[in-house]
Structure 1
Amino acid sequence: MNLRRFGIYCGIVAPVLWLSLIAVAGAMRPEFSHVNQYISELGERGSATEILMRYIGFEFSGFLYLCFAAALPANLRAGWRSALLAVFIGLDGLGRIGAGVFACDPGCDGLSSSQALHRLFATTGFSAAILAAIACGVLLRTHAWLGSLSGYSIGSGILATIFLLLMTWDSNPILASGLSEHLATGALSLWLLVFAARLLRAP
Structure 2
Amino acid sequence: MTTLDRALLTTGLFIPLWLLLGVWFTAQAYPGYQHLQQAMSQLGATGAPTAAFSPWVNNFPLALLFALFAWGLARRWRRSNVALASALLVLLHGVASLGTGAFACDPGCTPTEPSFSQHMHNLSGLLMFLSLTLAALLWVWMALRTADSRLLASGSLLCAVVSIGTVALMARAAETGQLFGLYQRINYGVALLWIAGLAWYSLRQPVSGQAKLPVA
TM-score, shorter chain, exceeding 0.5: yes
Q: Partner of 2:144: helix, strand, or coil? A: coil
2:210 aligned residue: none
Structure 1's 199 and 79: CA in aligned 2 closer, same or farther, altered over 3 A? same
Larger-Rg structure: 2
1:122 to 112, 125, 139: 125
Q: State how far apart, in whole Å, the 1-side matches of 2:174 and 2:202 are.
A: 41
Residue 78 of structure 1 and its aligned partner are, at CA, apart by 4.5
Q: Check the 8 A contact 1:167/1:180 in 2, yes or no.
A: yes
1:79 aligns with 2:74: no
Q: Partner of 1:49: helix, strand, or coil? A: coil
Q: Deviations over 1:119-156 (max 9, x none)?
A: 10011111111111122112332335444310111111
Give the aligned length: 203
1:11 aligns with 2:12: yes
Residue 24 of structure 1 and its aligned partner are, at CA, apart by 2.0
* Structure 1 alignment gaps of length 5 or more: none
- Of the structure 1 ranges 173-182 and 2-11, higher mean CA displacement relative to structure 2 is found in 173-182
Q: State how far apart, in whole Å, the 2-side matches of 1:161 and 1:150 are.
A: 17
- Of the structure 1 ranges 1-10 and 17-26, higher mean CA displacement relative to structure 2 is found in 1-10
RMSD: 2.1
Q: Deviations over 1:8-60 (max 9, x none)?
A: 12212222211221222223324111122111001112323224421231111
2:212 aligned residue: none
Question: Residues 14-29 of structure 1: matches in 2 within 5 Å?
Answer: 14-29=15-30
Question: Residues 36-75 of structure 1: matches in 2 within 5 Å?
Answer: 36-75=37-76
Residue 169 of structure 1 and its aligned partner are, at CA, apart by 2.5
Residue 77 of structure 1 and its aligned partner are, at CA, apart by 4.0
Q: Check the 8 A contact 1:62/1:94 in 2, yes or no.
A: yes
- TM-score normalized by the length of structure 1: 0.90
1:198 aligns with 2:198: no
- TM-score normalized by the length of structure 2: 0.85
Q: Partner of 1:107: helix, strand, or coil? A: coil
Counterpart amino acid of residue 131 in structure 1: L
Q: State how far apart, in whole Å, the 2-side matches of 1:55 and 1:20 are.
A: 13
Structure 1's 170 and 47: CA in aligned 2 closer, same or farther, altered over 3 A? closer
2:213 aligned residue: none
